[in-house]
Amino acid sequence: MHRDVTISVVIPCYNEEEGIQHVIRAMPSCVDEIVVVDNNSTDRTGEVAKSLGAKVVFEERKGYGAAYKAGLPAVTADITVTMDGDGSYPSEQIAELVDHLLDNDLDFVSAARFPLKNPAAMSFSNRMGNMILTIAMLVLYGKNIKDSQSGMWVFKSNVYPRLNVTSGGMPFSEEIKIEAIRAKDIRFGEYRVNYHERIGEVKLEKWRDGFRNLFFLVKKRFQ
């Protein structure tokens, strides 16, 4: 608990046996619940997470969005925090992010990685892809945010059921922000955070996922 609110952290994982150990062990004491979504892993991700005290939700359908759609409804706390199972997002800043949410009377805060404090944490091609997609969001939706692809969000748990998030894949990350920005009764903000070099194998397929995200942005804009 932190400032009289309870905190759940939701972590989608596919073959993150190595990284999830680090992430769970580094979780700050203010976190009340850790929900790990085992997205049909072929390694011991779910078993390891459970042994370290996490609530494990199994989702057979592959996909980033599918994993979140399984994990987010399992949250029981007042505040939901999301992050990846590879150690790249800063669990040490969870309390800081919750403070920003509460102090500024916000409902949804997206953790912005840019400008990177550690340039070695992300390849040049990934930085360029993120910049292109973030500019596309500005052009299509008129919202100038710093990091449209961030996978770390902090929001009041009662916000999620009010968002019409449809993607079962990587576009879920940008779509949840679009939904929060579009909603007139949801106050959206960003907060700059650290970003670390990932632990374990890279799962992202840069070009394929990048074009899918761009296509999704265009498609959603004209729905």
pLDDT, tens only, 59-80: 999 999 999 999 999 999 999 9
Q: CB burial class (10 A; 0-12, 13-18, 19+) of residue 33?
A: middle
Task: Give residue limits of the domains in the chain.
Answer: 7-119+150-201
Closest CA to 108 of 179, 188, 193: 188
pLDDT tens for the 223 residues of the chain, in order: 999 999 999 999 999 999 999 999 999 999 999 999 999 999 999 999 999 999 999 999 999 999 999 999 999 999 999 999 999 999 999 999 999 999 999 999 999 999 888 888 888 888 888 888 888 888 888 888 999 999 999 999 999 999 999 999 999 999 999 999 999 999 999 999 999 988 866 656 666 777 787 777 777 787 7
Indicate the CATH number of 7-119+150-201 among 3.20.20.70, 2.40.128.20, 3.90.550.10, 3.40.190.170.
3.90.550.10
Is residue 180 a contact partner of residue 190, using CB atoms and an 8 Å limit? no
Rounded CA separation 197/201 (Å): 11
Partners of residue 13 on adjacent β-strands: 38
Residue 203: per-residue pLDDT: 57
